[in-house]
A and B are shown apart, each in its own frame.
Chain A
């Protein structure tokens, strides 16, 4: 009875919490809440490179959120008879739209939001958890696949992995799932989630009304008539898979559950409403993640699908506008292949969306995005990132030499003969030259289309009737013209004058061994060396070395008396995650794009403005190559070459890719960037350190690169 009461109270708390979040869906981001779990804290404090800390370092792990609490409740149900095991398990959520979950050897269960976003009921999430708990209980270890080894070794490892999966399926159902009150009927749906989880949230036809209105229509050639059917095959060859194929897993599970008694078992032990809310949050976060990863068409199509269910939700409207902006910019930069995969790779109704965005030109996508962003500008004037994007698109039109006078005031298909040429009548009646000129100004003159007008030239016809749009548009274009003059008149404030506003992100450093597998020990050593080089260079150049360190997130480096409280740690962690997402997003977009995420710099590092980020990837090359063997032979013949050979033999040969950027967080613009790639060289650490110093020196001297 007490348990039931507690569950009801928790559910009510969830709903209140979710209701409050509903009102702020507009900028929804899944964030951690409450106390940081001790096990996660130890990962951060140890600051080692491993799977969990890498995810954490990337800002992908969430704890204490409504989603975590919901999943924890499910785990409670599954482990109702195993309190000891329950106490060993910590559930963390990964902000990733992939349908997946992991069990770590230390009891951490990592659940991707993708699997919750695609689930149909609570019981399907319970099946996922029971499988992962079984992995932990059976002490299954991660099998590392080294593809450089002989193929029969790989095949054996795959087979072992598939056996582990079968064991986990069986134990999960019979031991943990059976102990709970979740319905066995959920299994069919669960395997559907695994099979079709790569598809969007629904398979709805891509509607032309989304992108067209009465004023213009796109050519029929832009719309795919027949989309590729969704593949139903679940009995694919799994010899090279870590998991058995879906058909086998489905059959095995059905064999176990078919004779089980389902009486009293339910698909939802918490309320269905709560499940829907939690799933909605995960779906929103999936869209966020797609936008951050620049998977714009995926974000656009899924936002469209979800908007059908909830047309008033401004989040979807914003997401679609941001996606259009990204697509337009990448088309403009001729880099759309970086963000739009070929439409033939997709199946189902989403294929039509990919097809359309592949066909639409940059001149068509620009007004399409302007239309979407103007709608937001009208309803959410405080939405600064969207305003900046709108301004950026209008500036792009200036670059294309397009002003409002290039866009028709009349919808496509208007009979030209029926258009009254009022302004011409005015012109003719005026005898004054200047009067005629004023009457012909772009803000007054109505543009009549000609036969040569393209589709994009009709796309702003309705917006042009809105005087506020015309004024706004003209203001931005005037600003572009003014900026050109101001650039000549006023020298831009040199970066060297802003050195006090710099702060350094902990560098990224990855070291791959000869087989292409990350060497964690060398990555850590390299990271420490890079930090030292940054610190030393900054000190030498008298640049303030303010840093945001991953290790500090758990209160590391502070004495017990100055240790901040748990809520502060979570706030710090959330800020760090936001920063990581911002960096991922900002560094992936084109240089002149506006990031759609906004960042409160004062929360991250008060008084700072410029973020210094450096990334390095080192690859160890093979020690004994043909050339080195030839050196040894040469040395044997001519002893004078011996010192050379010895030196070359003992000094490692490495390839390195290094990058250092400075980003203005207030604008999202990259103000300095330098990178270098060197292939198979000696002295790589020295080259790296010299690169770091040279970059900081260049910033100090002028910041032009």
Chain B
């Protein structure tokens, strides 16, 4: 119920922004309104490991999870645009297993499981300042995402868990437009799942106990993804197509 209310509020925000279109005022850039964008969100693996599994060292601050995001964006007014995007990312999670039934021998250990995430999202960008004008300049972005994931633990036997997570994030960034077509952007983002921010920190430093389903894998993966989603910086390259 709570999630539905948030979704409703975000939808209202987007629709309101879209309705700001003023027919007398040019909202396009040189007559073009549609952008295709490709971005990567670099999320530092300081809370959770990335798929390179180097989270134990200081280097974890300089290694990242990568969220690949193609998107389509439509200019709706001089200072705003809306868009839809697709997410794809792969990451890891640590799990602990303790299985005394495998091959009739006691087997225990820590391994890294794989998480594959596909997701969809919508966003609204509000450009700010005198030198900003859609689609370039400094902007704030408000985004709503839904993630659908598969989490796989291989040991002691293969377990596949499926789940979903809804989250929202805000970003601040700057778009540069070159040759009236090519857009390059950078941004910082902060995001939280709709279930609240507490979960992000709940499972820090702990591993999922994969032994005979002793704990809730979906809750653990959700927290894991929320940690990845919590902080990121984005690099975009886009084309103002038509």
Contact = CB atoms under 8 A, between A and B. Distances in A.
Contacts of B137: 682-683
Given A640-B233, A682-B137, 14 more contacts: A536-B30, A540-B31, A640-B44, A643-B235, A647-B174, A678-B130, A681-B131, A683-B137, A683-B177, A686-B29, A686-B133, A690-B30, A694-B26, A697-B26
Which of A536, A644, A686 has the most CB atoms of chain B within a 10 A radius of its CB? A686
B24 A701 contact: yes
A639 interface: yes
28 contacts: A537-B30, A537-B31, A540-B31, A639-B61, A640-B188, A643-B233, A644-B174, A644-B186, A647-B186, A648-B174, A651-B176, A678-B130, A683-B131, A683-B136, A683-B176, A686-B133, A686-B136, A686-B177, A686-B180, A687-B131, A687-B133, A687-B136, A689-B30, A690-B30, A690-B133, A693-B28, A697-B26, A702-B24
Interface string B130-141: 110100110000
Contacts of B25: 698
B228 to A, nearest CB: 15
A651 B178 CA distance: 10
Given A536-B30, A541-B31, A686-B136, A639 B62 contact: yes
Interface string A166-177: 000000000000
Nearest to A702: B24
A644 B176 CA distance: 11
Contacts of B30: 533, 536-537, 540, 689-690, 693
Contacts of B233: 640, 643
A537 B133 CA distance: 17
Interface residues of B, number: 27
Interface in A636-666: 639-640, 643-644, 647-648, 651
Given A640-B233, A687-B131, A701-B24, A647 B62 contact: no
Contacts of B10: none
A693 B31 contact: yes
Nearest to A644: B186
Nearest to B30: A693
A686 B175 CA distance: 11
B7 interface: no
Nearest to B136: A683
A316 to B, nearest CB: 49
A82 B88 CA distance: 82
Contacts of B61: 639
A45 to B, nearest CB: 28
A406 to B, nearest CB: 43
B184 interface: yes
Nearest to A646: B186
Contact of B131 (A540, A639, A644, A682): A682
Contacts of A702: 24
Q: Is the interface of B mostly helix, strand, loop or mixed?
A: strand
Nearest to A697: B26
A683 B44 CA distance: 30
Contacts of B178: 686
A647 B184 contact: yes
B127 to A, nearest CB: 11
Interface in B58-108: 61-62
A540 B188 CA distance: 35
Contact of A689 (B24, B42, B180, B186): B180
Interface in B21-57: 24-26, 28-31, 42, 44
Nearest to B235: A643
Contacts of B62: 639
A651 B186 CA distance: 13
A558 to B, nearest CB: 30
A651 B25 CA distance: 29
A219 to B, nearest CB: 49
A617 B24 CA distance: 28
B239 to A, nearest CB: 14
A648 B175 CA distance: 11
Nearest to B138: A682
A689 B29 CA distance: 9
A332 to B, nearest CB: 33
A536 B28 CA distance: 14
Nearest to B31: A540
Nearest to A683: B136
A678 B188 CA distance: 26
Nearest to A640: B233
Interface string A674-697: 000010011100110110011001
A693 B131 contact: no
Nearest to B78: A694
Which of A643, A651, A694 has the most CB atoms of chain B within a 10 A radius of its CB? A643
B174 A682 contact: yes
A532 to B, nearest CB: 9
Contacts of A693: 26, 28-31
Contacts of B24: 698, 701-702
Nearest to B236: A643
A417 to B, nearest CB: 65
Given A540-B30, A640-B44, A647 B131 contact: no
A537 B178 CA distance: 17
A640 B62 CA distance: 9
Nearest to A695: B26
A660 B188 CA distance: 37
A702 B23 CA distance: 11
Ranked nearest first, the 4 interchain pairs of A and B with the lowest CB-CB distance are: A681-B131, A697-B26, A540-B31, A686-B177
A693 B133 CA distance: 13
A651 B184 CA distance: 11
Nearest to B130: A678
Given A533-B30, A643-B186, A647-B186, A678 B131 contact: yes
Contacts of B235: 643
Nearest to B233: A640
B182 to A, nearest CB: 10
Contacts of B186: 643-644, 647
Contacts of A536: 30, 180
